[in-house]
Amino acid sequence: MRYSIVVPVYNEEAVVFECYRRLTEVMRQTRESYELIFINDGSRDQTSSMVSQLCSSDPAVKLIEFSRNFGHQIAITAGMDHAQGDAIVVIDADLQDPPELILEMIGKWKEGYDVVYATRAERKGETGFKKWSAAAFYRTLNKLSDIDIPLDTGDFRLIDRKVCEAMKSLKETNRFVRGLVSWVGFRQTSISYVREERFAGETKYPLKKMLKFASDALVAFSLKPLRLASILGSIISVFSFVYLLFVVGQKLLHFSTTPGWASVIACILFLNGIMLIILGVIGEYIGRIYDEVKQRPLYLVQETKNFSQEQQRPVS
Ligand code: UDP
Ligand code: MG
C-alpha cells in the first residue's frame, strides 16, 4: 500500500459522497495504490450506512466504526493505527481542506520530507469568533509550549510511515495530534493554502468541544500555567506581607485603626478568587493525570469493513 487517507466523520451525511468523489479523483491521478479510511466517530445519522455502501462498491474504501463518539483527535489516531500506507494523509471530511493539495504534499514527500503540513493562509466562510479564537489559540499555545507548534495549522497533513510509527508509540489519552506530530520531529515542511467553506452541513466543533480541545493542548504541551499559579501566589504573598507590616505599624504607633471592613472583605474576596483559579489550574492537570493512570484504551471499535486480516485489531 502506498497511500492511506484518514478521514474522520461525525454526522457528515451531507458530505460523505462528495468527499469520496473528490478524494478518489485526486488519488487516481497518482496512479499508485491507496486506501481511504473513514472513521465513523459514533454518528447518529446515515453516515455509517453511506460509507458501508461505498465499501461494497469500492474495495479501496475502509470503515472503522467506533462504539460511540470519541472525538476528532481520537478518530484520527485510530486511522493512523490502522493505516498501511507508506505515507498517511489526514483530512477533514467537509472539504474545507481541498483534496487537490494532497498531490502537492506527495510531491514534497517524494523530495524527502517526512511531515508536510498545510498552513491556513486564509479561512473562508467561518464566523468572526472562530477566526479570532483560532488565531488567539495558536499564538497563546506557541508562547506557552516548550516545543514549536506551527501557527494556523490544523490536522490536514501528510506523514511518513516512520512518523506514524512514532505517533503510535505515544499512548496518551488526552491527545492533541498536531502537537504530537511537532513533538516527534523528523524533517518537516509546510505548504500554505486557503481554507474553503464547508461543503455542506455545519461544524461538529461546538464551543464546548473547542474549549476541551484548547485545554488539552495547553495542558499536554505546557507546564507554564502551573508555574504561573506559583508566580502569582508569590507576588500576592509579598504584597500581603508589606500590608501586614503596615497594619502592625499602624497599631503600634497608635494611629487610628478604625475597623476597615471594606478593605478586609475586598482582600478576602480577591484572595479567594485567586486561590480558586489556581486550584482550577491544578485540577486540570490532576484530572488528566487521572485519565492517563486509568490506562483505558483510547477507543473501542464496533466493527471494521474491508480491512485485511492482519489489520484487524479490535482495540488499540
Ligand atoms: N469530527 C469527528 N468527531 C467529532 C467532531 C468532528 O470525527 O466529535 C470530524 C468531522 O466529521 C470533520 C472533522 O472532524 O471531518 C472536523 O470537524 P469540523 O469540520 O466540524 O470542524 P471545524 O472545521 O468546524 O473546526
Ligand atoms: Mg470543518
Mean pLDDT, residues 56-71: 92
Mean predicted confidence (pLDDT) in 242-260: 77
For residue 12 and ligand 1, the question of a CB distance below 6 A is answered with: yes
Averaged confidence pLDDT in the chain:
85
Predicted pLDDT of residue 253: 80
What percent of the chain stands above pLDDT 70? 96
pLDDT band per the 50, 70, 90 thresholds, residue 316: very low
β-sheet bridge partners, residue 189: 116
Give the mean pLDDT of 268-273: 80
Whole-number pLDDT of residue 313: 55
Query: If you measure from the C-alpha of residue 242 to the centroid of ligand 1, how many angstroms do you get, rounded to a whole number?
Result: 52
- Label residues 256-295 b or e (16+ Cβ within 10 Å = b): eeeeeeeeeeeeeeeeeeeeeebeebeebeeebeeeeeee
Using a 10 angstrom Cβ sphere, with 0-12 exposed, 13-18 middle and 19 or more buried, the burial of residue 33 is middle
8 Cβ closer than 6 Å to some ligand 1 atom: yes
> Which atom of ligand 1 lies nearest, measured to the CA of 203?
20
The pLDDT of residue 25 is above 60: yes
pLDDT digits (tens, 9 = 90+) for 69-119: 999 999 999 999 999 999 999 999 988 888 989 999 999 999 999 999 888
Q: What are the residues whose beta carbons fall under 8 Å from the beta carbon of 190, sequence distance 6 or more? A: 116, 117, 118, 119, 150, 153
Nearest CA to ligand 1 atom 2: 72
Regarding predicted confidence, which is higher, 311 or 214? 214
- Report helix, strand or coil for 19: helix
CA 157 to chain centre: 13
What residues contact residue 209 under an 8 Å CB cut-off, 6+ apart?
71, 72
Placement of cell 504584597 in the chain: 239
Q: How high is the pLDDT of residue 20?
A: 94
Asked if pLDDT for residue 247 goes beyond 70, the answer is: yes
Residue having the nearest C-alpha atom to atom 24 of ligand 1? 203
Q: Which amino acid, residue 37?
A: I
Per-residue confidence (pLDDT) for residue 310, from 0 to 100? 60
Give mean pLDDT, residues 146-167.
87
Distance separating alpha carbons of residues 270 and 288, to the nearest angstrom: 28
Strand partners, 116: 158, 189
Cβ of 71 below 6 Å from ligand 1: yes
Residue 29 has pLDDT above 80, yes or no: yes
Range 1-8 average pLDDT: 92
* pLDDT digit string, tens, across residues 179-233: 888 888 888 898 888 887 777 778 878 778 888 888 888 888 887 787 787 788 7
